[in-house]
Amino acid sequence: MQKMKQIGVGILGFGTVGAGVADGLLKHRDVMAKRLGVDIVLRKIVDLDITTDRGIQVPDGVLTTDAKGVLSDPEIDIVVETIGGTGVAKTFVLEALGNGKCVVTANKKLLAEHGREIFETAAKNDVDIYFGASVGGGIPIIRVLREGLAGNEIESIHGILNGTCNYILTRMENEGLPFESVLKDAQKLGYAEANPSLDIDGFDTAHKACILAALAYGFQPGVDQVQVEGIRNLDGADVKYAADFGYRIKLLAVVAKDGSEVEVGVHPTLIPFSHMLANVNDAFNAAYVKGDMSDYTMYYGRGAGRAPTASTVIGDIGDIARNLAYDETRYARGVPNYAEGKVRLRAAGDIRSKYYLRFMLADRPGAMGVVASALGKHGVSISALSQKESSEGNLPVPVVAMTRVARAADIDAALEEIKAAGVTGEDPVKLRVL
Ligand code: HSE
């Protein structure tokens, strides 16, 4: 029998994900060789700290602090970047591609901010870059878009893509807890990014949304171009009022196309209890994808954590290893197909959605009339309205209005008018409704 071809792997970064990848590659070497017909050999793991115990037994000679040596090692075909961030991670990824190595990364920030440069470098060097774990952790959603749904026009993707936020929102709703105390627990459980602002202010989700847009539409906006709302200022009262109306609030990424315009954004969004996305709880992620042929499909799983993220990284390594072992051409399959000039980002004001509006309304005659007439004047139709009876006069009372589909600019104009009329004690709350 012909000897099985060996493909060498070098991992940059021996942190949570790097250790998970090493563990999986060592544990499942035989089963992967049987499935893929190629022997994937972990040759090196690079980290500044190679003494701390990561809970796995690494063969002698694998651990090293010499990144440059790994990036130029002729026995290493695939470089796995699990360092994170956009500093040395970017330098090393570009150097690996330049040296003719294929790269696997889970680094969403790197791809969202420097994807074009990295993808172009991969294509120029005829090597591959796979980034399956950059969105959805253990859910192979990137592969679904690249392969399973390749025959579809993607009409929309709605995603719960940040485990930290979903964990916080689930506990705020179930236990009536305030945001701050739940955030601390999420950090203790290890879901949150090193800088929790990336999670709770929506940027981690936005990075992932921009990567999904590149795959779905060949159009990757900068994170600074898209609308990003996080959950930091979400009031527990709105979680409760939303529930009274039959909705659950989730931090939702939207990537959708309408004609030649693409909408990409991140918003806390009310989702009806009956919708599958409303039932994605705790640190779980999901992507709900509508293709013109497939119709709706949904992908659900763990969006973070050592083993789930490593599972997707290893899937990518396997795919590249098989390509390298069986294919003469090293054409960059993982690179998105950019469609320059064919689509553009939809202007924020033109986005259409149903809305949840909450006003703290002065308890006096005519106040409700101001709200209703301002919304009506700007063409916004109210589908439901609720005001709780106030026990004492003269205190602002919460009034919640659910609207029909409206343009964001019309909603904003109406809210400005309501604020100017002096009938609200504080700024109105505006949340999108799926
Ligand atoms: N901080 C991220 C999350 C990790 O909470 O989902 C995975 O990208």
Residue by residue, DSSP assigns 158-217 as EEE--HHHHHHHHHHHHH---HHHHHHHHHHTT-S-SSTHHHHTSHHHHHHHHHHHHHHH
CA 273 to centroid of ligand 1, rounded, Å: 24
Q: Which of 108, 208, 250, 257 is catalytic?
A: 208
Strand partners, 206: none
User: Ligand 1 pocket, 168 CB below 6 A?
Assistant: no
Asked whether the beta carbons of 330 and 371 are under 8 A apart, the reply is: no
The yes-or-no answer to whether 141-302 and 349-433 have a common fold is: no
User: Ligand 1 pocket, 163 CB below 6 A?
Assistant: yes
pLDDT in tens for each of the 434 residues of the chain?
A: 568 999 999 999 999 999 999 999 999 999 999 999 999 999 999 999 999 999 999 999 999 999 999 999 999 999 999 999 999 999 999 999 999 999 999 999 999 999 999 999 999 999 999 999 999 999 999 999 999 999 999 999 999 999 999 999 999 999 988 888 888 888 888 777 778 899 999 999 999 999 999 999 999 899 999 999 999 999 999 999 999 999 999 999 999 999 999 999 999 999 999 999 999 999 999 999 999 999 999 999 999 889 999 999 999 999 999 999 987 566 667 778 777 668 899 999 999 999 999 999 998 899 999 999 999 999 999 999 999 877 676 788 999 999 999 999 999 999 999 999 999 988 999 999 99
For ligand 1, atom 7, the nearest C-alpha belongs to: 304
Instruction: Report pTM.
Output: 0.94
Residue 304 CA, closest ligand 1 atom number: 7
For ligand 1, atom 4, the nearest C-alpha belongs to: 304
CATH of domain 141-302: 3.30.360.10
Domain positions in the chain are 6-137+306-326, 141-302, 349-433
CATH of domain 6-137+306-326: 3.40.50.720
CA 284 to centroid of ligand 1, rounded, Å: 10
User: Ligand 1 pocket, 303 CB below 6 A?
Assistant: yes
Asked whether the beta carbons of 430 and 354 are under 8 A apart, the reply is: no
Residue 377 annotated in active site? no
Residue 192 CA, closest ligand 1 atom number: 1
User: Ligand 1 pocket, 201 CB below 6 A?
Assistant: no
Residue 198 CA, closest ligand 1 atom number: 1
CA 193 to centroid of ligand 1, rounded, Å: 6
Domain 349-433 fold: Alpha-Beta Plaits (3.30.70)
C-alpha span between 231 and 251 (Å, rounded): 7
User: Ligand 1 pocket, 204 CB below 6 A?
Assistant: yes
